[in-house]
Amino acid sequence: MISYNPRDWFSFITRFHKADTFRQLLPLMFLISVYAGLIAWLEVDYWKLSDKSYIRNVSVMHTLLGFAISMLLVFRTNTAYDRWWEGRKLWGGLVNSSRNLAMKLDTMLPEDDRSNRSFFRKAIPAFAYALHNHLHKEQTRTELFEEEEHRPIFQRIDKEKHIPNQVALLIHRHIQLLCREGKINGEQLLFLNTELQSLTDVCGACERIKNTPIPFSYSVFIKKFIFFYILTLPIGYAPQLGFYVVPVVIFIFYVLASLELIAEEIEDPFSGDSNDIPTGVLAQNIHRHVGELL
What is the spatial distance between Cα 43 and Cα 45, in angstroms, rounded to a whole number? 6
DSSP letters, 103-124, are HHHHHHS-TT-HHHHHHHHHHH
**HSE (side-chain half, CA atoms, 13 Å) at 250:** 19
Task: Report yes or no: 287 and 128 within 8 Å, Cβ to Cβ.
Answer: yes
Report in angstroms the alpha-carbon separations of 125 from 23, 172, 177, 268: 38, 14, 20, 23
DSSP-derived 3-state class of residue 214: coil
Query: Domain coordinates of the chain in residue numbers?
Result: 112-212+278-293
Task: For residue 92, give the amino acid letter.
Answer: G
| Cα-to-chain-centroid distance, residue 203 | 15
Q: How far is CA 134 from CA 139, 164, 271, in A?
A: 8, 7, 11
Is 0.85 surpassed by the pTM of this model?
no
Q: What is the C-alpha end-to-end distance of the chain, expressed in Å? A: 34
Per-residue pLDDT of the chain (294 residues; tens, 9 = 90+): 445 455 555 565 556 555 677 788 888 899 999 999 998 888 887 777 766 666 767 777 888 888 888 888 888 899 999 999 999 999 999 999 999 999 999 888 888 888 888 889 888 998 998 899 889 875 444 444 444 444 544 566 666 778 888 889 989 988 888 888 888 888 888 888 888 899 999 999 999 999 888 888 888 889 899 999 999 888 888 888 888 999 999 999 999 998 888 888 888 888 877 778 899 899 999 999 998 888
Contact between 187 and 152 (Cβ < 8 Å): no
**105 close to 192: Cβ distance less than 8 angstroms:** yes
Q: Which helix (H) or strand (E) holds 163?
A: helix 163-180
Which residue, 138, 139, 196, 142, is CA-closest to 165? 196
How far CA 54 is from CA of 6, 58, 59, 257, in Å, comes to: 47, 8, 10, 29
CA 92/CA 126 separation, integer angstroms: 16
**Alpha carbons 223 and 186: distance in angstroms, whole number:** 57
- Burial class of residue 294 (count of CB atoms within 10 Å of its CB; 0-12, 13-18, 19+): buried
Helix (H, G, I), strand (E, B) or coil at 149: coil
> Do the beta carbons of residue 83 and residue 205 sit within 8 Å?
no
- Cβ burial, residue 48 (10 Å; 0-12/13-18/19+): exposed
